[in-house]
Each structure stands twice: as structure tokens, then as C-alpha cells.
């Protein structure tokens, strides 16, 4: 790949001026951290996750090289893990790192950010890269830190490298390709290497006791049946929630003591999850591979209209949106307390201590389809999910370091995560210990298997905010706002996209 240093720096500085600040059982293991290649012949037969071999050479040896991993400090447990066996998930991450070090003869040097806020972390990271800090070989941070804050001119292409096999199951190739501007250059990697690939998936939790109280002729697993039959649609969600309200405190008015179908709190992230679930088309790729914004079409208008009904013409909705932060302050655990039928958030909330201690049984299902003709469930992988990337400066000392040191290390971390960390978290903890029934694990498979990113949503700050068009419409609280909002931002969004594509070509030309 042709790296244009001055072009990258000038483009990044231009972008910078535009920034708007804004866990139980143990997986199959022998209890050691020995080199995976020291197992007997035939051990890696592919029969289980733990026995998946991968494609790295048997004799790979990095001869004690050090690979520096810069990461957002708030992700420390997900990156470094912890040695003490207080939580098997984080212990397995710690052991993963030891196994990779022994396997490759490499030293992993973990470099936490000095900052904590994602905007501040992006500024810190950009300064380190632009001053060519040689200690940083790879970066692990949320997409909102890297893409939303416009650092995409600072990373190198990881597609078609010798030792990164991005089509293997330990990488989420759909999410990786979605964050590529041209569909060919892969700067941002997602997969088993970070647990946020699972925890940041959109999911609906529902209180089974409330569901049967409100629907006495239906069983607690009725929604599971709807999901499997693909009759779980956005229209069904509206009709179900519209009849879910109870004046529990008897004051004959809607109040905090009542029972509601769902809440929209804070920034309204559920809006993006709903749009993804309904397969709203934000863009198409042209023959060149570059995106073209296509969100201005009839289905978007219909979706916006139905979402408005769900929010504002719904007996069961309790809305603290937009810009009403008191909602989260005043109602932090309403779902766990039995006040809310549906909890609209990410899959990772299953790990919350309050959720795990919840007295009522709950189920987990994907966000609804648009209609019964939709082929499959789509899950948005939120922009807080951690991406793994390599600064372009890591290859300045010679492409061999990227190809033969950094990429094998990332591949080994992903493989070993797939073998052990994911087994502990996904199969044993999330699907068994933290759920209340066997069918929930089947639902989790549907949610995770349908997970992907959305390019326009990820790059929204560079595209005049069009990735949040439905959020703007819901903020306006009008059923006829799609045309008005699109007219106000669409032309500028398309021009911004043309500028982005031009910059991309100058960077990676």
C-alpha cells in the first residue's frame, strides 16, 4: 500500500478542525498457558472452539519482539483481563494474553490512554500518532473514538496481509467491511478479539411475568415463537406495547409508579437499533465500491411514521427524549424492578449485577423485523464497540514489521479469544449462567449472527449527521418530518460524502 505521510497529516488536521466534542464456568482448557503448538498431533481437530487450530505457521517465532497496544483506559479489563480468579471472563482474557506471548515468543506491552472520555482519548491518540510515537503498534478503542472523531486518515490497510485471515469465524467480516469507505481497504477490525463485539449488539429484554400478566392467553415464551416464525415485526411491537400500561399506584394519572411497555432514555440509542432491525437502507455501493446515500426512499418515510407512533402515540411508552438526562437518573433500574415490560438496550446489559439479581424471569429477543418478508434479523453493532487497528506509522520502519510481527500477534489474539475467552463468555456465561431459559441462548445466536455495522451511522459526524436522521425526526416530534429533515441535511451530506471519498483516495491512492 502506498502511504502518503504528508497527505495523511494534512487531511487529518483538516478533519480535526471539524470535530465536534461532544462473567462462571471454565471453558475447555488444560489449565496451562503453554504454546498451543506443543499439544499432541491431532489435538486441534476442530471439534470444539478450544480445538480450533487457525492458520498461523506451526514454527512461528517472533523472537521476543515487543508489540505495543494502546487502548482506551476504560476498556482495561476487556484488553488486559485480570490475574485474580474473581471473574472467569476477565481471567480468561489475562490467560489469553499469556498464551499468545508464549505461543509467538512475543511481549505484549499494554499502553492505557491517559484520558477517559472518548473525545479526549481521540485527541491524545492522534497526537501520539502524528508525533510518530514508536511504542504504539496497534490501537484498541471504540468506533466512536476512532471513526466518529475522524481519525480514519491515521490507520493502515489490514486487508490481504499474510497472517490476518479476516474470513475466519473469529473475525466479523460483515462489520469490518461495513466500516470500509471503498469496500476494499480494511482499517478497523472487529471480532472475538474484543468482547464488545458481543456486548454492543442491540437486544430486547422482556419481563416474562409482566408479559403473561398483560397477555393472559399467551405463554411466557410466546415472543420466542414469534421470532422463530418471523412474525416478530415492528408493527407487532407497536400493537403489543400500545396495550401495555397499568395504573399500578391507582392515582388515575400516568406517573412513576405505573407500569409501562418501554422507556426511551437519554440519547435514544434504541432508534438506531430499530432502524437496523428493519433493514433500513442508508446507502448502496457503486461499482467503484464507494457508497452512495440512498436513505431518501419510501420505506424510510414509512419507518419514521411508525416509529413516531411507537414513541408518541402509544399508551405504553414513557419517553425521556431528546435531551432529558434525568430519565436515566430517575429510572436506572425500572426493568429490574418490574415496572417496564421491554428493556431497549445492548446485549451486554445481561452482565449487569442488577440484571443478574433480578427476581422476575426475563427473555432476550432481537429487535423486530420490518415485515414478514424480511429474510433475516439484523443486529446493529453499536459504535461503542471496540475496533482494532494499526497506525500507519507502525509501517514506516518497514512493511515487514506490520506483516510479520503485528499482524500475526493480532491473529493469535483473535484465535485464542475464539478458543477460550468467547467460550467462557458467550457459551458458558452469557448463554447459560446469565440467562433464565434454554430458548434465550437460541435467541442470542440469532442476535449475534445477524450483527453488523452501518457505514453511514459510523461516519455520521463526517456526513452532516445523516446517520442520525431518525433521531432528529423523533426529536422534532412530528409525523411529517422526514422530508423536512432530509431536505435540510441531505444535500450537505452528499457533498460531505464526496469530500470524504476524495480524501480517502488521496490518503490510500
Tally the residues of the chain: 509
Give strand ranges (E) for 52-173: 65-71, 106-112, 138-142
Cβ-proximal residues to 476 (8 Å cutoff; 6+ apart), any chain: 484, 485
pLDDT tens digits, one per residue of 405-450: 999 999 999 999 999 999 888 777 777 777 778 888 899 999 999 9
For residue 322, whether the previous peptide bond is cis, meaning omega lies within 30 degrees of 0, is: yes
pLDDT tens digits, one per residue of 23-72: 333 334 444 455 665 655 678 888 888 899 999 999 999 999 999 999 99
Give the per-residue pLDDT at 477: 84
Residue pair 125/155 in contact by the 8 Å Cβ criterion = no
The whole-angstrom separation of Cα 339 and Cα 98 is 45
What is the average per-residue pLDDT within 3-15? 45
CATH architecture observed for domain 23-199+383-434: 3-Layer(aba) Sandwich (3.40)
Instruction: Reduce the DSSP state of residue 209 to 3 states and report it.
Output: helix
Cβ-proximal residues to 401 (8 Å cutoff; 6+ apart), any chain: 137, 394, 395
pLDDT tens digits, one per residue of 98-146: 999 999 999 999 999 999 888 899 999 999 999 999 899 999 999 999 9
* Domain residue ranges of the chain, discontinuous segments joined by +: 23-199+383-434, 202-380+452-508
pLDDT tens digits, one per residue of 254-294: 888 899 999 998 778 999 999 999 999 999 999 999 999 99
The whole-angstrom separation of Cα 19 and Cα 150 is 7
Residue pair 22/85 in contact by the 8 Å Cβ criterion = no
Q: What residues are paired with 189 via a beta bridge? A: 388
Q: Do domains 23-199+383-434 and 202-380+452-508 have the same CATH topology?
A: yes
Cβ-proximal residues to 405 (8 Å cutoff; 6+ apart), any chain: 62, 65, 67, 106, 137
Give the per-residue pLDDT at 35: 61
Element (H or E) spanning 506, and its range? helix 481-508
Give the per-residue pLDDT at 479: 67
Q: What is the pTM of this model?
A: 0.91
Element (H or E) spanning 8, and its range? helix 5-18
Say if residue 256 is exposed, middle or buried (CB neighbours under 10 Å; 0-12, 13-18, 19+): exposed
Cα–Cα nearest to 376, from 267, 228, 246:
228
The whole-angstrom separation of Cα 148 and Cα 122 is 10
CATH fit for domain 202-380+452-508, picks 1.10.10.10, 3.40.30.10, 3.40.190.10, 3.90.1580.10? 3.40.190.10
Say if residue 325 is exposed, middle or buried (CB neighbours under 10 Å; 0-12, 13-18, 19+): exposed
Rounded to 10 degrees, what is the CA torsion of 134, 138, 140, 142?
A: 90
Cα–Cα nearest to 136, from 151, 148, 119, 147:
151
The residue whose grid cell reads 416478530 is: 232
C-alpha cell at 446: 440469532
Percent helix, percent strand, percent coil in the chain, to nearest 5: 45, 15, 40
For 142-195, give the DSSP string: EHHHHTTTT-GGGB---TT-SS--TTSTTB-HHHHHHT-SSSS----B-BTTST
Element (H or E) spanning 203, and its range? strand 202-207
The whole-angstrom separation of Cα 496 and Cα 285 is 16
The whole-angstrom separation of Cα 44 and Cα 37 is 9
Residue pair 363/232 in contact by the 8 Å Cβ criterion = no
The whole-angstrom separation of Cα 439 and Cα 28 is 23
The residue whose grid cell reads 426511551 is: 264
Is the model's pLDDT at 18 over the cut of 70?
no
Q: What is the chain's mean pLDDT, rounded? A: 89
C-alpha cell at 379: 443486529
Is the model's pLDDT at 9 over the cut of 50?
no
pLDDT tens digits, one per residue of 295-335: 999 999 999 999 999 999 999 999 988 777 666 667 788 99
The whole-angstrom separation of Cα 155 and Cα 132 is 12
Amino acid at each position: 500500500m502506498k502511504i502518503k505521510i504528508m497527505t495523511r497529516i494534512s487531511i487529518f488536521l483538516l478533519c480535526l478542525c471539524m470535530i465536534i466534542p461532544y462473567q462462571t464456568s471454565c471453558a475447555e482448557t488444560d489449565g496451562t498457558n503453554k504454546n498451543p503448538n506443543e499439544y499432541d498431533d491431532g489435538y486441534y481437530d476442530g471439534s470444539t472452539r478450544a480445538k480450533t487450530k487457525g492458520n498461523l505457521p506451526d514454527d512461528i517465532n517472533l523472537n521476543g519482539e515487543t508489540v505495543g497496544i494502546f487502548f482506551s483506559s476504560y476498556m482495561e479489563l476487556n484488553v488486559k483481563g485480570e490475574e485474580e480468579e474473581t471473574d472467569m471472563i476477565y481471567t480468561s482474557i489475562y490467560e489469553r494474553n499469556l498464551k499468545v506471548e508464549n505461543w509467538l515468543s512475543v511481549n505484549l506491552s499494554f499502553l492505557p490512554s491517559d484520558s477517559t472520555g472518548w473525545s479526549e482519548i481521540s485527541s491524545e491518540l492522534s497526537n501520539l500518532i502524528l508525533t510518530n510515537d514508536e511504542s504504539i503498534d496497534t490501537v484498541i478503542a471504540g468506533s466512536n473514538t476512532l471513526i466518529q472523531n475522524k481519525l480514519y486518515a491515521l490507520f493502515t490497510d489490514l486487508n490481504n496481509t499474510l497472517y490476518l485471515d479476516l474470513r475466519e469465524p473469529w473475525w466479523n467480516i460483515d462489520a469490518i467491511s461495513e466500516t470500509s469507505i471503498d469496500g476494499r481497504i480494511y482499517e478497523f477490525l472487529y471480532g472475538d478479539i474484543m468482547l464488545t463485539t458481543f456486548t454492543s449488539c442491540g437486544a430486547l429484554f422482556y419481563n416474562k411475568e409482566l408479559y403473561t400478566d398483560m397477555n393472559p392467553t399467551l405463554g411466557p415464551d410466546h415472543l420466542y415463537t414469534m421470532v422463530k416464525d418471523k412474525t416478530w415485526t415492528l408493527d407487532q411491537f407497536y400493537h403489543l406495547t400500545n396495550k401495555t400500561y397499568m395504573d399500578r399506584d391507582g392515582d388515575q394519572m400516568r406517573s412513576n409508579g405505573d407500569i409501562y411497555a418501554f422507556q426511551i432514555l437519554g440519547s435514544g440509542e434504541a432508534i438506531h437499533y430499530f432502524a437496523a432491525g428493519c433493514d433500513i437502507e442508508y446507502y448502496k455501493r457503486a461499482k467503484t465500491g464507494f457508497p452512495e446515500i440512498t436513505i431518501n426512499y419510501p420505506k424510510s418515510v414509512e419507518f419514521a411514521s411508525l416509529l413516531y407512533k411507537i414513541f408518541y402515540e402509544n399508551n405504553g411508552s414513557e419517553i425521556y427524549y431528546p435531551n432529558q438526562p434525568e430519565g436515566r437518573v430517575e429510572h436506572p433500574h425500572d426493568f429490574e424492578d418490574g415496572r417496564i415490560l421491554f428493556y431497549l438496550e445492548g446485549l451486554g446489559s445481561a452482565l449487569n449485577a442488577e440484571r443478574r439479581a433480578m427476581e422476575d424471569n426475563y427473555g432476550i429477543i432481537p429487535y423486530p423485523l420490518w415485515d414478514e418478508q424480511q429474510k433475516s434479523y439484523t443486529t446493529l453493532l453499536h459504535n461503542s464497540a471496540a475496533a482494532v487497528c494499526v497506525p500507519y506509522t507502525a509501517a514506516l520502519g518497514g512493511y515487514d514489521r506490520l506483516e510479520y510481527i503485528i499482524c500475526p500477534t493480532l491473529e493469535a489474539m483473535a484465535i485464542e479469544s475464539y478458543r477460550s475467552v468467547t467460550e467462557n463468555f458467550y457459551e458458558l456465561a452469557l448463554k447459560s449462567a446469565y440467562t433464565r431459559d434454554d430458548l434465550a441462548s437460541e435467541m442470542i445466536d440469532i442476535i449475534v449472527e445477524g450483527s453488523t455495522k452501518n457505514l453511514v451511522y459510523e461516519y455520521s459526524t463526517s456526513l452532516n449527521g445523516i446517520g442520525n436522521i431518525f433521531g432528529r425526526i423523533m426529536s422534532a416530534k412530528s409525523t411529517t418530518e422526514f422530508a423536512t429533515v432530509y431536505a435540510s441535511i441531505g444535500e450537505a451530506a452528499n457533498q460531505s460524502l464526496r469530500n470524504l471519498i476524495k480524501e480517502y483516495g488521496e490518503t490510500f491512492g
